[in-house]
């Protein structure tokens, strides 16, 4: 009895621990989903603000907004291209590692441009804009190189797969169209051709065949007519008629 109670107690503890584990996993997954949603909403709001500032505030502020928007758009597009292709191509892991290192420089530039938006000395910002623009071009050029390389690689694999598939379809189509009759196959309904003996003319029928193709150039010896009842019969021939048979 005590052993049964101990077993039930152990099972209860295991069920409780399993429930706690599942609950913690669910809470973490929900939290991660909420964090992604919040981050996505924050990025959308920031992008919308930058677009509005780009057109509504010309000058230094509008230039800074344009630089930040170009940087964020290029980096986000490259990130999506690499991560979407990594699920099917494991060789992109190294490219993702390089992009993560590049993202560090991108975040630094974005944070610096964001701080400059609140800088009151517009003249100093205008003097440093060429420097920021050059850094932006270097970062976005590297991001675009990774992005287009990943896309070209994916397209190359798709073209190779399509070519292989087309070849297989051509072979299968040819096999499906192979309905022609094999040449040289004997027709079971065709009457067998009897061999010709040496010295026998082409117009003379073989003895015992029961057929005559006409007189030969030389008078052949007389052939005694055979009884039709002794002639060989075939399944597709009618039975020979005998004398005295009424119709």
Q: What is the pLDDT of residues 211-231, one digit of tens each?
A: 444 455 555 555 555 555 655
Please give the C-alpha separations between residue 56 and each of 6, 67, 73, 120, 127, in angstroms, as whole numbers: 74, 15, 20, 18, 22
Once rounded to an integer, what is the mean pLDDT over residues 187-216?
A: 50
Q: pTM for this structure?
A: 0.54
Distance, CA of 50 to CA of 41 (rounded, Å): 14
List of residues 6+ apart from 65 with CB closer than 8 A: 50, 51, 53, 54, 57, 117
Q: Which residue has the higher pLDDT, 125 or 189?
A: 125
| Percent residues over pLDDT 70 in the chain | 63
Q: Pick the most confident of 138-147, 225-234, 235-244.
A: 138-147
SS3 state of residue 205: coil
* CA 85 from centroid of its chain's CA atoms: 14
Instruction: Give the count of beta carbons closer than 10 Å to the beta carbon of residue 122.
Output: 12
Q: Pick the most confident of 38-47, 152-161, 180-189, 201-210.
A: 152-161
What is the reported pLDDT for 34? 62
79 burial via Cβ count (<10 Å: 0-12, 13-18, 19+): middle
Per-residue 3-state assignment (H helix, E strand, C coil) for 107-125: HHHHHHHHHHCCCCCHHHH
Please report which helix (H) or strand (E) contains residue 174, including its range.
helix 122-176
Distance, CA of 52 to CA of 63 (rounded, Å): 12
Q: Which residue has the higher pLDDT, 149 or 242?
A: 149
pLDDT beyond 50 at 65: yes
Q: What is the pLDDT of residues 143-166, one digit of tens each?
A: 999 999 998 888 888 888 899 999
């Amino acid at each position: 009895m005590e052993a049964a109670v101990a077993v039930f107690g152990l099972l209860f503890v295991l069920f409780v621990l399993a429930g706690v584990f599942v609950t913690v996993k669910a809470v973490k997954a929900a939290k991660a989903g909420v964090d992604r949603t919040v981050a996505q909403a924050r990025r959308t709001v920031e992008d919308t603000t930058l677009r509005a500032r780009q057109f509504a505030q010309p000058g230094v502020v509008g230039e800074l907004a344009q630089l930040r928007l170009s940087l964020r758009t290029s980096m986000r597009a490259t990130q999506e291209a690499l991560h979407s292709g990594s699920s099917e191509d494991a060789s992109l892991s190294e490219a993702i590692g390089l992009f993560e290192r590049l993202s560090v420089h991108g975040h630094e530039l974005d944070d610096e441009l964001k701080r400059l938006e609140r800088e009151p000395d517009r003249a100093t910002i205008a003097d440093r804009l060429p420097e920021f623009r050059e850094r932006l071009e270097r970062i976005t050029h590297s991001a675009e190189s990774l992005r287009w390389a990943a896309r070209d690689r994916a397209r190359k694999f798709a073209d190779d797969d399509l070519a292989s598939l087309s070849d297989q379809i051509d072979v299968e189509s040819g096999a499906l169209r192979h309905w022609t009759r094999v040449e040289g196959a004997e027709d079971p309904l065709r009457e067998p051709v009897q061999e010709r003996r040496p010295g026998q003319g082409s117009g003379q029928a073989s003895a015992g065949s029961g057929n005559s193709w006409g007189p030969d150039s030389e008078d052949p010896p007389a052939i005694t007519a055979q009884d039709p009842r002794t002639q060989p019969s075939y399944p597709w021939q009618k039975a020979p008629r005998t004398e005295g048979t009424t119709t």
